[in-house]
Structure 1
Amino acid sequence: MSKFATIDIVIFVIYFFIVAGYGYYIYRKKKKAVSDTHDFFLAEGSLTWWAIGASLIASNISAEQFIGMSGNGYSIGIAVAAYEWIAAIALIIVAVWFIPVYLKNKIFTMPQFLKTRYNETVALIMAIFWLFLYVFVNLTSILFLGSLAINNLMGGSPVTFEIIMIALSVFAVIITLGGMKVIGFTDVIQVGVLIIGGLATTYIALIVVSKAFGFGENAIEGFNQLVKNAPDHFHMIFAKPVPGTPQHQVDNYLTIPGLLSYVAGIWIINLNYWGCNQYITQRALGADLQTARKGILFAGFLKLLMPIIVMLPGIAAYVLHQKGMLQAEMAIGSKHGEVMSDNAYSAILGYLPNGLIGLSLAALTAAIVASLAGKANSISTIFTLDVYKKYIKKDADEKGMVWVGRITIIAALIIAIAFTWNDTLGIGGQGGFTYIQKYTGFISPGVFAMFILGMFWKRTTGAAAVVGVITGFLMSVLFNIFAPRWFGPETILYTAYKNADGNYEIPFHICMGLAFGFTMLVMILVSLGGPKINPKAFALDKTMFKVSPGVLAMIVVTLMIISMLYVRFW
Structure 2
Amino acid sequence: MNQRILKSMEASRTKEPRQRRRRGRHAESTCSCSMCRPNRGTVAGYFLAGRFMWWLPVGASLFASNIGSEHFIGLAGSGAAAGIGVGAFEFNALVLLQLLGWVFLPVFIASGVNTLPEYTKKRFGGRRIQTYLALLSLILYIFTKISVNLYSGAIFIQQATKINNLYLSIVFLLVMTAICTVVGGLAAVIYTDTLQFFIMIGGSFYVMIKGLYTVGGYSELQTKYLASIPEKLISNSTCGLPRVDSWRMLRDADTSVSDMPWPGFLLGQIPASIWYWCADQMMVQRVMAAKSLSHAKGGTIFAGYVKLLPLFIMVLPGMIARVLFPNEVGCVDPDECFKFCNSRVSCSNSAYPKLVLEYMPSGVRGVMLSVMLSALMSDLTSIFNSASTLFTMDMWSIYRPRAKQREQLLVGRIFIVFLVVISIIWIPVIEQTQGGQLYIYIQAIAAYLAPPIAAIYCMAIIWKRMNEQGAFWGLMSGFVVGMFRMSLDFYYGEPPCNEEDNRPFIVAKVHYMYFATILFWLTVFVAVTVSLLTKAPEKWRLIRTTYFTRYDRRERQDDQEMREWKQNELMEVGQQDQDEAEHIPHRDTPWYQRLYNCIFGFDDSEKAQEQAMAMNEHIAQLTTLHQEPWEKNLLNVMLVIIIITTVACYTYFSINPFTEEEVKEIQRKKLEELGYHDLL
Q: TM-score, normalised by structure 2?
A: 0.70
CA contact (8 A) 1:206 1:316 kept: yes
Match of 1:360 in 2: 368
Moved more, 306-315 or 276-285: 306-315
Matches for 1:330-345 after TM superposition, within 5 Å: 332-336=340-344, 339-345=346-352
SS in structure 1 opposite 2:448? coil
Q: 1:315 to 1:432 in 2, by over 3 A?
A: farther
Moved more, 408-417 or 502-511: 502-511
Match of 1:418 in 2: 425
CA contact (8 A) 1:135 1:415 kept: yes
SS in structure 1 opposite 2:287? coil
Matches for 1:138-537 after TM superposition, within 5 Å: 138-155=145-162, 157-159=163-165, 161-177=166-182, 178-210=184-216, 219-220=217-218, 222-226=220-224, 229=227, 232-241=245-254, 250=257, 253=259, 256=260, 258-287=261-290, 288-322=292-326, 332-336=340-344, 339-350=346-357, 351-388=359-396, 390-423=397-430, 427-481=433-487, 500=497, 502-504=501-503, 505=507, 506-532=510-536, 534-535=538-539, 536-537=541-542
Q: 1:240 to 1:366 in 2, by over 3 A?
A: same
1:554 and 2:617 are equivalent in the alignment = no
Q: Which amino acid aligns with 1:513?
A: T
Instruction: Determine what percentage of the aligned residue pairs are the same residue.
Output: 25
Q: 1:81 to 1:396 in 2, by over 3 A?
A: same
Deviations 1:335-389 (A, max 9, x none): 45x632211111111111111111111111111110000001111000111111x
Q: C-alpha displacement at 1:527, in angstroms?
A: 0.6
Q: Which amino acid aligns with 1:162?
A: Y
Q: Which amino acid aligns with 1:46?
A: F
Give the whole-Å Cα distance in 1 for the aligned partners of 2:420 and 2:514: 33
Q: Which amino acid aligns with 2:393?
A: L
CA contact (8 A) 1:107 1:113 kept: yes
1:568 and 2:581 are equivalent in the alignment = no
Give the whole-Å Cα distance in 2 for the aligned partners of 1:394 and 1:43: 23
Query: RMSD of aligned C-alpha atoms?
Result: 2.9
Q: 1:168 to 1:273 in 2, by over 3 A?
A: same
Give the whole-Å Cα distance in 2 for the aligned partners of 1:456 and 1:511: 24
CA contact (8 A) 2:343 2:434 kept: no
Give the whole-Å Cα distance in 2 for the aligned partners of 1:283 and 1:89: 17
Match of 2:94 in 1: 88
Give the whole-Å Cα distance in 2 for the aligned partners of 1:314 and 1:325: 9
Give the whole-Å Cα distance in 2 for the aligned partners of 1:220 and 1:30: 45
Q: C-alpha displacement at 1:100, in angstroms?
A: 0.7
Give the whole-Å Cα distance in 2 for the aligned partners of 1:240 and 1:541: 36
Give the whole-Å Cα distance in 1 for the aligned partners of 2:329 and 2:302: 38
Give the whole-Å Cα distance in 2 for the aligned partners of 1:340 and 1:323: 10
Deviations 1:308-347 (A, max 9, x none): 11211111122223377887899544245x6322111111
Deviations 1:463-500 (A, max 9, x none): 111111111112213445559x99xxxxxxxxx99774
Q: TM-score, normalised by structure 1?
A: 0.83
Give the whole-Å Cα distance in 2 for the aligned partners of 1:468 and 1:78: 36
Q: Which amino acid aligns with 1:554?
A: M
Match of 1:125 in 2: 132
SS in structure 2 opposite 1:386? helix
Q: Which amino acid aligns with 2:375?
A: A
SS in structure 1 opposite 2:362? coil
Q: C-alpha displacement at 1:171, in angstroms?
A: 2.4
Q: 1:330 to 1:364 in 2, by over 3 A?
A: farther
Q: Which amino acid aligns with 1:73?
A: G
Q: Which runs of 5+ in 1 are unaligned?
A: 1-25, 211-218, 487-495
1:135 and 2:112 are equivalent in the alignment = no
Give the whole-Å Cα distance in 1 for the aligned partners of 2:57 and 2:527: 38
Q: C-alpha displacement at 1:164, in angstroms?
A: 2.0
Give the whole-Å Cα distance in 2 for the aligned partners of 1:143 and 1:27: 32
Q: 1:72 to 1:523 in 2, by over 3 A?
A: same
Q: C-alpha displacement at 1:524, in angstroms?
A: 0.4
Q: 1:79 to 1:31 in 2, by over 3 A?
A: closer
Matches for 1:82-121 after TM superposition, within 5 Å: 82-118=88-124, 119-121=126-128
Match of 1:36 in 2: 42
Q: Which amino acid aligns with 2:176?
A: F
Give the whole-Å Cα distance in 2 for the aligned partners of 1:513 and 1:499: 27
Q: C-alpha displacement at 1:451, in angstroms?
A: 0.5
SS in structure 1 opposite 2:50? coil
Q: 1:318 to 1:27 in 2, by over 3 A?
A: farther
Q: Which amino acid aligns with 1:206?
A: L
Q: C-alpha displacement at 1:450, in angstroms?
A: 1.1
Q: Which amino acid aligns with 1:521?
A: F
CA contact (8 A) 1:95 1:293 kept: yes
SS in structure 2 opposite 1:233? coil
Q: Which amino acid aligns with 1:116?
A: K
CA contact (8 A) 1:58 1:187 kept: yes
Deviations 1:143-189 (A, max 9, x none): 1111211221111x222x22221122122113212100011112111
Q: 1:569 to 1:552 in 2, by over 3 A?
A: same
Give the whole-Å Cα distance in 1 for the aligned partners of 2:532 and 2:194: 47
Q: 1:128 to 1:480 in 2, by over 3 A?
A: closer
Q: Which runs of 5+ in 2 are unaligned?
A: 1-32, 228-241, 552-624, 655-680
Q: 1:84 to 1:340 in 2, by over 3 A?
A: same
Structure with greater Cα Rg? 2
Give the whole-Å Cα distance in 2 for the aligned partners of 1:521 and 1:396: 39
CA contact (8 A) 2:88 2:650 kept: no
1:56 and 2:59 are equivalent in the alignment = no
Q: C-alpha displacement at 1:402, in angstroms?
A: 1.6
Match of 1:12 in 2: none
CA contact (8 A) 2:50 2:289 kept: yes
Aligned residue pairs total 512
Q: C-alpha displacement at 1:423, in angstroms?
A: 2.0
Moved more, 187-196 or 280-289: 280-289
CA contact (8 A) 1:468 1:523 kept: yes
Give the whole-Å Cα distance in 2 for the aligned partners of 1:68 and 1:497: 18
CA contact (8 A) 1:69 1:433 kept: no
CA contact (8 A) 2:80 2:322 kept: yes
Q: 1:59 to 1:325 in 2, by over 3 A?
A: closer
Q: Which amino acid aligns with 1:345?
A: Y
Q: 1:180 to 1:346 in 2, by over 3 A?
A: same
